[in-house]
Structure 1
């Protein structure tokens, strides 16, 4: 997801040696120089924020450090230049520090994510934070008059009720023996939500484990255009995850260990990544989508090793599905998630 990439893009500017290589490789930026990487982050940020005047897309980056922590000016300067990072020194021992950081996150996500940071540990010295906010209306809005209460068949909680929306339009779609997919465009069609429904024999968990970047590109390249009906439940999805284990499995283990080298952040002592917190909010209704994401990288000091005939298709999303919100031209993935049970609150 984009938010995680931007947070680690900033961290990359402080990493050295094998730690730098590990972060760069997980971000799939091999073969690019550091300047090319920074320029690509800056260019993409400007592109996404200016791309569609019918879509609100905002991205913000910040650096927070304890006021006793001797952070290198060069690290601050490069992240200000390429990531437009806001920089603040705080007394991390002050109980108000958590509220100040959470206040920044709440402001940048239009109050959709209010309390992402639960505490500041005594040995924490720095936080790198990315926040993204997205609000867009469907190109083909769902008529509220056609929204009805329908069954949704969960994998482990039986049959539940949902608010099922309906629309019929000319859309990009794909069907094969493994899954069905449809793309719903926003605004001027630069931003889209692609919804993927695995076949009835495949669980959403099993599908996600096999659906990789190559599968995603293959899907996009093989979609057809046709007139179809989409039945999609309204939902609000809120998710929070500590990403340490996932990132370590992907090859970033050294950054979380006593061997981490972030000597381009601080020279006086060694630091490592202690937590990566990722939180998202996605609301989908008849008018469109509102979404937010936040990623926080926490650093600590190292103290020890550590169908009907007239339609081409019909897709009814009445069982767990996967969604991806993305930008068409750059193929940038903004948000993604699975809906095992579509929950809605007025």
Structure 2
């Protein structure tokens, strides 16, 4: 079984549900949704390549929004690389920021029967030159970010940030920042998301039974299998079947994709590109469906540096090459040290509760490391250091000349 879409932005209406209010998006907002979804699917496929037989649960929206704040501080080749990886090339910085601001408002107010909260925060180190005021102002204005200067060496520094994380995820994720804080970290840019929705058609707990679940290695595990019969969006294809289970008044839904018994879940994930996904979702039709899904709880975490590097933004993690001059102009070297991602999801007879946190940790060096690159003619000598005797001396004009 495979579920997707819970923490994705979905700009096309599912034909089987009727949102409480219409998402009247501008052209830029639609393009941002498409960019975030495309980036999220690529990230999911990249992680699945590394964790093919493991449970995975990520929030593309959370990762994109945390990196969206960070993008405001990037410049030069670093900004270009992040732009390509996040698929933001068709949008100006102003369009990106304004679209995020409007989407935060729309998504959190879309369905009165669903709780969906988005919170952003920036925590910067007080003992070094302050971040650029314009950068902090943009993150406050467009991402509604809480901006706080903090003594990172204080005993309660990490717990202060983690308390915000716990509160913003309704207690589902208790910490994201390590204690004590690494002295070479100058800033944390954090996004937190919390979702709680009840099924439109709830499962009857008395009908839940112990059932075998077939694992990828051919063995089985016993799970609590919920069941119901109701009108849902449904799709049969050559490779899989899918069902759409709405929450609240129908603005949000969980979409599940199930390969046929002789199918391969990883082969299906490999096909999950925006064009294919949008095509599949457009083919759903309403029908009376017998639905059987397991009750489950999952906590997941992953450090995303390797995945984001593979997707093209490795320069942002390079202490010597990264350019975040729009974040810190008075510190010679600032780079992304880590991107940490944690999620939680619980699916039961009543509905779904989920949370996600993405933490972008910025590293810094107050002194520019000197570089010696001998890529032109040079003189060299071999010396005895105590007496100062020069034993050999030479010149190289062509190191390949023999």
Q: Which TM-score bucket, shorter chain as reference?
A: 0.7 to 0.9
**Does structure 1 residue 46 correspond to structure 2 residue 105?**
yes
> What is the Cα deviation at residue 30 of structure 1?
1.5
Partner of residue 254 from structure 2, selected from 193, 197, 218:
193
**Does structure 1 residue 83 correspond to structure 2 residue 143?**
yes
CA distance in 2 between counterparts of 1:304 and 1:287 reads 57
CA distance in 2 between counterparts of 1:243 and 1:167 reads 37
**TM-score (structure 1 length as normaliser):** 0.85
CA distance in 2 between counterparts of 1:45 and 1:304 reads 41
> What is the Cα deviation at residue 304 of structure 1?
5.8
What is aligned with 2:90?
Answer: 31
What is aligned with 1:283?
Answer: 346
RMSD after superposition? 1.5
Identify which range, 5-14 or 118-127, moves more after superposition. 118-127
**TM-score (structure 2 length as normaliser):** 0.74
> What is the Cα deviation at residue 183 of structure 1?
0.4
Partner of residue 219 from structure 1, selected from 280, 283, 287:
280
CA distance in 2 between counterparts of 1:209 and 1:124 reads 36
Match of 2:65, SS?
A: helix
What is aligned with 1:340?
Answer: none
- Structure 1's 304 and 134: CA in aligned 2 closer, same or farther, altered over 3 A? farther
Show CA shifts across 1:223-268 (max 9, x none): 1221111101000011000001111111111111121110011111
Number of residue equivalences? 305
What is aligned with 2:325?
Answer: 263
- Where does 1:44-83 land on structure 2 (aligned, <5 Å)? 44-69=103-128, 70-83=130-143
- Where does 1:156-305 land on structure 2 (aligned, <5 Å)? 156=217, 158-257=219-318, 258-269=320-331, 270-302=333-365
* Alignment gaps of 5+ in structure 2: 1-59, 371-402
What is aligned with 1:155?
Answer: 216
- Where does 1:137-148 land on structure 2 (aligned, <5 Å)? 137-148=198-209
CA distance in 2 between counterparts of 1:304 and 1:247 reads 25
> What is the Cα deviation at residue 9 of structure 1?
1.1
What is aligned with 1:308?
Answer: none
Match of 2:268, SS?
A: helix
> What is the Cα deviation at residue 92 of structure 1?
1.2
* Alignment gaps of 5+ in structure 1: 306-346
Show CA shifts across 1:41-85 (max 9, x none): 001100001100000010000000111232111111110000000
Match of 2:314, SS?
A: helix
Greater C-alpha radius of gyration: 2
> What is the Cα deviation at residue 121 of structure 1?
1.3
